[in-house]
A and B are shown apart, each in its own frame.
Chain A
Amino acid sequence: MDHQQAQDEFSDYVDGTLAQAARAELEQHLAVCIQCRTELAKFRQTLGSLGRLKQTAPPTLLTDVKQQIYRRSRGRFFAPRWKLFGRIPFEWISLATIIAMLVYYLAILHGSPTGVRPAP
């Protein structure tokens, strides 16, 4: 195993997902290679530093989002759904339209023509 092959295994090794045989081979290499041991230590240090990168959201986040929603929806977003001019029930309107079209279609299909007599 050379340095490149060893370092290609670092992620799987650190994540604990390296197969048993590959792990043993890498550990054998690490035991005799100070360069790869140093690189592995730096690699672990990098992951440790990444894991400590935490930023908290601004304390005004909740208020800011609420204001944006109220402003964009003109206060209707949190209005009760049954309220007049509250939230428009698009799903019910769509369903009613489809049913109306279906009824109309069936009426045309099965309705008997009136006032038209077949030619003799």
Chain B
Amino acid sequence: MSLAERLLIGRLRDRDPSAFEEIVRRYGDKVFNLVYRMLGNRHEAEDITQEVFITVFKTVDTFRGEAKFTTWLLRIAANQSKNRIKYLARRPTDSGDVEEAGGPAPGVAATPGPIAHGQIDGPDILLEAAELESLMQKAIASLDEEHRLLVILRDVEELSYQEIGEITGLPEGTIKSRLHRARMAIKEELDRNTK
């Protein structure tokens, strides 16, 4: 853990509101992206992202600094996402709370998707990008939560195998073999849906 990170955590332990704001600003997108890809639903992702940061602030005294702060943060995000998936699976089916995979919730402006180049693209390109994102999200959602998490951590969040191991508690060999199966399953799913 870097010195800057240690100082930031120290300020957070002292309940410094500016440290709290810095943490949310710095890691908000990373946590939200992970949770959103796990759940595939923007409203649920917003709730869980809030819960993740609240958990972090409540339990920061237990963070011993053995792992990187981001690893600890993403472990909390991954666990809360998996718990929510289990909770939603147990709940009676309510078609109203599942949005079209990859699409923004009603009333929520679409955020930059797979073609975020920092320029304005034509409507046909935007539509194509939105369709691709929707297909990708559906393919991710077709995986079970363990495989889904590995693909998101490695290929979406671009973490190293060591970081993934610290988050999931899995040995590197297991991560690699499961990740390969998950990647192939997504490729097959995309193949089926684009034929």
Q: Is the CB of B15 within 8 A of A87?
A: yes
Contact with A along B118-157 (1 / 0, CB 8 A): 0000000000000011001100000000000001000110
Cα of A54 to Cα of B133 in the assembled complex, Å = 10
Q: Is the CB of A62 within 8 A of B33?
A: no
Cα of A53 to Cα of B35 in the assembled complex, Å = 12
Q: Is the CB of B136 within 8 A of A53?
A: yes
Residues of A within 8 A of B176 (CB): 11-12, 17
Known: A43-B187, A50-B186, A65-B50. A11 touches B180 (CB 8 A): yes
Known: A42-B187, A62-B25. A53 touches B37 (CB 8 A): yes
Could you jot down 23 A-B contacts, CB within 8 Å? A7-B184, A10-B184, A11-B180, A46-B186, A47-B155, A47-B183, A50-B136, A50-B186, A52-B113, A54-B112, A54-B113, A54-B114, A55-B113, A56-B32, A56-B112, A57-B32, A58-B108, A61-B24, A61-B53, A62-B28, A69-B54, A72-B54, A80-B15
Known: A42-B187, A57-B32. A51 touches B158 (CB 8 A): yes
A-B CB contacts (within 8 Å), total count? 111
Give the A interface residue count (CB, 8 A).
Answer: 35
Check: B69 CB closer than 8 A to any chain A CB: no
Q: Is the CB of A58 within 8 A of B46?
A: yes
Residues of A within 8 A of B137 (CB): 53
Interface extent on B, as a size class? 35 or more
What 17 additional pairs, Cβ within 8 angstroms, besides A55-B113, A57-B49?
A11-B176, A11-B180, A17-B176, A39-B187, A49-B136, A50-B155, A51-B156, A53-B136, A53-B156, A55-B36, A56-B112, A58-B32, A58-B108, A61-B24, A65-B53, A72-B54, A79-B15
Cα of A81 to Cα of B25 in the assembled complex, Å = 25
Minimum distance in angstroms from A76 CB to a CB of chain B: 10
Q: Is the interface of A mostly helix, strand, loop or mixed?
A: helix
Minimum distance in angstroms from B93 CB to a CB of chain A: 25
The 10 closest A-B pairs by CB, nearest first: A57-B32, A50-B155, A11-B180, A57-B28, A52-B114, A46-B187, A62-B24, A65-B53, A55-B36, A56-B111
Check: A25 CB closer than 8 A to any chain B CB: no
Interface residues of B in 8-33 (CB under 8 A from A): 14-15, 17, 20-21, 24-25, 28-29, 31-33
Check: B116 CB closer than 8 A to any chain A CB: yes
Q: Is the CB of A54 within 8 A of B184?
A: no
Check: A2 CB closer than 8 A to any chain B CB: no
